[in-house]
């Protein structure tokens, strides 16, 4: 259900460890990897919030580290361009362990998530995932999420790093009840992503059990399964944030280093390289994927971002009544109204790239919007950007300009995404 990204999400919130009393009350529960759930080690929250389980691996590989959402994360290992191209042409290995993982379980969990989030999570099949959002009562986006249904009565909610604490607090409030348990498993979980055309063959080579390997290879996009990968129990999901085929591997944090090294060793022969936040940002931008804090925030509704499809106004409860989920009223009204702004793609027609915050200009110089994300595109060979603009200038083919440090640089409105892979297996 997950960034990690350069022009990052907003200020970090403290990640909350799993409640000890809840853990002790349910010691028999299995985690997402099929092994008994464990309570995270008691550590100084400041230290735990800065260094993930793979920090030493990044330092040993010579990564340039950068602060991100309260974490020390790899910005790049070699060069942004080389890492970006490796993902498009072979494979990249990403550390996403700063993401928030929240387990919602119990007989009432599905109904509770339907009330808490904008999507229909009770209707999600076991082993499938869904992109969704958690909104404020006024319809503003608190975070965009990927949610996996891992068992009949268990869902894994993956939140952006900077919003993990906010999402956890909201879920605990909105899902409160005797038939629902909400557990923060972030500190006990590591998340490693293998992305790119060679991702399937690399991950498959690390799954020795034939039946599990067949299940991994046969995964559809936005689906997951349990498997032992390089000797490590994992929940393997065919999801990602790069526009390429790929897998995200959820494992217990204590096994992260062993798995990271195994993937590097196996994938190296197929062109896999470790990749940092910079490449991840340029990859997601080419794929037209929104970034919280840039394209999404509490002043933005899903409809503003062109993602109204994730808002399920048609979902009903067990009695057939419409689900009164948080934000339903304002979002229903927004769905039936004309937009005040539209998220569009911009193709740069000069060499200078637009950056977040730069004004978008009409032909006569009037400001008609602002850039949310922008960078040179390594794949396409010209600058690209996303921007919110007024509806009358949002049609593909419209010629506009962006004020880049006092100079009007020409751009053309284009449809998103900028880049779309040739889908084969896993499509």
Tell me the domain boundaries of the chain. Answer: 1-327, 338-414
| Cα–Cα distance for residue pair 92/87, rounded to 1 Å | 5
CA distance 237 to 292: 22
Mean pLDDT of 389-407: 98
**How open is the CA angle 168-169-173, to the nearest 5 degrees?**
115
117-140 residue pLDDT tens: 999 999 999 999 999 999 999 999
User: Domain 1-327 class?
Assistant: alpha beta
Which residue in 203, 196, 201, 198 sits closest to 235, CA to CA?
A: 203
Largest Cα–Cα distance in the chain? Answer: 67
* pLDDT tens, position by position, 24-80: 233 334 444 444 443 333 333 333 346 999 999 999 999 999 999 999 999 999 999
If you search the block for the tokens 């929940």, which residue do you land on?
A: 235
Confidence of residue 424 (pLDDT cuts 50, 70, 90): low
pLDDT at 423: 72
The topology under which CATH files domain 338-414 is: Elongation Factor Tu (Ef-tu); domain 3 (2.40.30)
∠286-291-296 over CA atoms, to 5°? 130
Residue 422 is predicted with a pLDDT of 83
Beta strand spans in 301-382 (E): 342-348, 359-361, 367-376
pLDDT tens by residue, 379-394: 999 999 999 999 999 9
């Amino acid at each position: 259900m997950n960034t990690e990204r350069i022009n990052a999400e907003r200020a970090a919130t403290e990640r909350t460890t799993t409640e000890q009393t809840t853990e002790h009350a349910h010691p028999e529960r299995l985690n997402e990897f099929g092994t008994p759930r464990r309570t995270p080690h008691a550590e100084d929250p400041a230290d735990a919030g800065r260094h993930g389980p793979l920090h030493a691996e990044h330092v040993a590989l010579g990564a340039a580290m950068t602060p991100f959402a309260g974490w020390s994360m790899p910005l790049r290992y070699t060069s942004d361009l080389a890492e970006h191209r490796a993902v498009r042409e072979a494979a990249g290995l990403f550390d996403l362990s700063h993401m928030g993982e929240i387990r919602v379980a119990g007989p009432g969990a599905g109904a509770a998530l339907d009330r808490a989030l904008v999507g229909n999570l009770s209707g999600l099949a076991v082993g499938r995932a869904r992109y969704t959002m958690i909104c404020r009562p006024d319809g503003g986006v608190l975070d965009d999420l990927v949610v996996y249904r891992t068992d009949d009565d268990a869902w894994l909610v993956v939140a952006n790093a900077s919003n993990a604490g906010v999402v956890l607090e909201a879920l605990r409030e909105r899902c409160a009840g005797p038939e629902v348990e909400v557990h923060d498993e972030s500190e006990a979980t590591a998340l490693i992503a293998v992305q790119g055309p060679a991702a399937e063959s690399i991950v498959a080579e690390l799954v020795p059990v034939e039946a599990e390997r067949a299940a991994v290879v046969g995964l559809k996009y936005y689906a997951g399964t349990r498997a032992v990968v390089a000797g490590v129990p994992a929940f393997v999901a065919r999801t990602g944030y790069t526009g390429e085929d790929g897998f995200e591997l959820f494992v217990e944090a204590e096994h992260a280093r062993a798995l990271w090294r195994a993937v590097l060793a196996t994938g190296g022969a197929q062109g896999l390289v470790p990749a940092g936040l910079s490449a991840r940002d340029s990859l997601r931008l080419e794929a037209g994927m929104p970034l919280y804090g840039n394209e999404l925030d509490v002043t933005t509704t899903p409809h503003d971002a062109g993602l109204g499809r994730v808002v399920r106004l048609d979902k009903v409860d067990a009695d057939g009544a419409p689900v009164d989920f948080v934000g339903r009223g304002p979002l229903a009204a927004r769905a039936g109204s004309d937009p005040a702004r539209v998220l569009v793609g911009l193709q740069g027609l000069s060499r200078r790239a637009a950056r977040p915050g730069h004004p978008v200009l009409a032909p006569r110089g009037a400001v008609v919007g602002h850039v949310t994300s922008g960078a040179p595109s390594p794949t396409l060979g010209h600058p690209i950007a996303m921007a919110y603009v007024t509806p009358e200038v949002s049609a593909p083919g419209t010629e506009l300009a962006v004020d880049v440090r006092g100079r009007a640089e020409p751009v053309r409105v284009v449809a998103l995404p900028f880049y779309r892979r040739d889908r084969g297996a896993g499509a």
